[in-house]
Amino acid sequence: MMLIRYLSQVGRYFLMLKEIFNKQTKWSVMRNLIFKEIDDLIIDSLGIVAFISFFVGGVVAIQTALNLTNPLIPKYLIGFATRQSVILEFAPTFISVIMAGKMGSFITSSIGTMRVTEQIDALEVMGVNSLNYLVFPKIIALLLYPFVIGISMFLGILGGWIAGVYGGFTSSTDFITGAQMEFIPFHITYAFIKTFIFAMLLATIPSFHGYYMKGGALEVGKASTVSFVWTSVSIILFNYILTQLLLGS
């Protein structure tokens, strides 16, 4: 019975995706909505992303340094390990899970509140495609999400460099040598492909849970929690699949 319920939810989710692109809202209205979503979802996230990236990059460098107890192991591996950890997993995946909490809860609660206060019904009565009006600007705004992850990558490696050098674990030359060693440009491509997929999940799954919720104010909070869980699960699942497809031999 539960399997049928989950399958029906998945089916409804894909029907929602189709409906988002039907009956477009006129551009003069949509433009303002897109700029508002960029401000709410992208610009407002930069502070927390920068803070977390900088300090986690530092922690990765320190943890790597503390585990290199053998004097025969070169210190430049601290820079190498920090770069690999930040670019391959931390920036695209870990930050996306955090954004599932920040962005996802905001999207679900804002759309859910509109559902509870019957604003969505009012849009439908006026002949507006409410899914296009509410969700499409979020999808377009989150096309800028790779820009946020690019900043996260830079600050993560910078935090690792500062923690490694000023913590006395490695020299600046060794860290930079390690950060440049055996660099594979496709790893950046892989990270941004993942980021793009995660951006679509961040825009649509919380919107789905907000749009189709039922009940009152209490249910808005419950929908936000459920949306965070499912967005995080989807991100981790897609992370596994994409890593296997793109990096697996």
What secondary structure does DSSP assign to 20-37, as a single string? HTSSPPPHHHHHHHHHHH
> Which one, of 169, 151, 146, lies nearest residue 59 by Cα?
169
**How would residue 50 be classed by pLDDT, with cut points 50, 70 and 90?**
very high
Distances (CA, A) of 165 to 17, 57, 76, 196: 48, 13, 11, 33
Question: Is residue 2 scored above 80 in pLDDT?
Answer: no
What is the average pLDDT across 146-171?
Answer: 88
Task: Say what the pLDDT of residue 249 is.
Answer: 56
Residues with Cβ < 8 Å from 42, sequence gap 6 or more?
141, 142, 144, 145, 147, 148
How sure is the predictor about 14, in pLDDT bands with cuts at 50, 70 and 90? confident
Mean of the pLDDT values across residues 4-31? 80
Cα-based torsion angle of the residue sequence 69, 70, 74, 80 in order, rounded to the nearest 10 degrees: -50
CA-CA distance, 81 to 73, in Å (whole number)? 13
Mean pLDDT of 198-224: 85
Token digits of residue 236: 């981790």
Q: How does DSSP classify residue 41?
A: I
- Supply the pLDDT for residue 78: 83
Q: What is the mean pLDDT of residues 105-118?
A: 86
Q: Of 101, 114, 112, whose CA–CA distance to 45 is shortest?
A: 101
Does the pLDDT of residue 105 top 80, yes or no? yes
Residue 52 has pLDDT above 70, yes or no: yes
| Angle at the Cα of 163 from the Cα atoms of 159 and 167, rounded to 5 degrees | 170
CA 191 – CA 11 distance, rounded (Å): 29
Q: How many CB atoms are closer than 10 A to CB 29?
A: 12
